[in-house]
Amino acid sequence: MIVTTDTLLKEAKKNGYIVGAFNTVNLETTRAILNAAKETRSPVIVQMTEKTFEYAGGRAIFNLVKNMADFYFSDIPISIHLDHGKSLEVVERAIDMGFPSVMYDGSRHAYADNLRVTKQVALLAHAKGVSVQAEIGNVPYLSEVSGNIDWEDYMTDPDQAVRFVEETGIDTLAIAIGNAHGFTKERDEPDYARLSEIASRLSLPLVLHGASDWEDGRAEKVRSLGISCFNVDTAIRLSFIGALSGMLASGEETEIRKVLGSGMLAVQETVMKKMELFGSAGRA
């Protein structure tokens, strides 16, 4: 059952659990994510980026996910989401393809520019029943930083977040509290006080990007403070590549389905563990 992201996240916020937003790039990662959702009876967000559009073809990968969800997983609440759309044009393309949810990421731009384009995205998307995520603050990538990070330059300002949400009318908000994309070194301790203040002042669901490795109590902590969605990408990549590397190490396996299937099963196991950790298992 295809639904919008904010539909899933409002339910998660109401009932105190986190929905995972898992990045897909191909048939195997898509099937792994959806198999995990079915096994754990978990609502799920399957998302993709502009780079995945370039790799797989935007309409091709969207319809792969949609057809799989419609034909084989119709009893699971599933959203298909554009992750990190960097321009109005890309967001428009995704909406035209049929995406029920999109993210416009203007976090690398000046606040005024982020605000202006996000307003345009929200007007366009809402007119077509599409939900919108945006980002305030900056979740850094490894390529963007060198040396020690001054986290005050990156983290979400609560006052600015409130104004931004009020002026744009977005449905979900990605925030920065010391989280970081990929292998970028995160803040030693997330700014839980900042998260608590933002959550207390905003009624919409909050999202954390760059949280693939948030275990050891961190996921449970931010869940209790108001996070309703975790984006997971790096953990999927590591599981898939690790399984394929092991399968290919002997140089004897020539059955493509076995090789790729090993990656699919590894990703499914990783995603199932995340769903249990997030508290979404059994919620579908």
Question: Which residues are known to be catalytic?
Answer: 83
> Which positions ≥6 away from 227 have C-beta within 8 Å?
18, 195, 199, 206, 207, 208
Q: How far apart are CA 193 and CA 169, in angstroms?
A: 25
Q: How far apart are CA 237 and CA 97, in angstroms?
A: 26
Distance set, CA 112 to CA 92, 139, 164, 198 (Å): 21, 18, 10, 20
Q: How far apart are CA 247 and CA 203, in angstroms?
A: 47
> Which positions ≥6 away from 109 have C-beta within 8 Å?
117
Report DSSP state, residue 179.
-
Q: Please report which residue ranges of the chain form alpha helices under DSSP H.
A: 5-15, 27-40, 50-56, 58-72, 88-97, 111-126, 158-168, 192-201, 218-225, 234-248, 256-278
Distance set, CA 50 to CA 86, 94, 125, 184, 237 (Å): 8, 10, 18, 21, 17
Provide the token pair at 86: 């960097």
Burial class of residue 127 in the structure, from the number of CB atoms within 10 Å of its CB (0-12 exposed, 13-18 middle, 19+ buried): exposed
Q: State whether residue 81 is helix, strand or coil.
A: strand
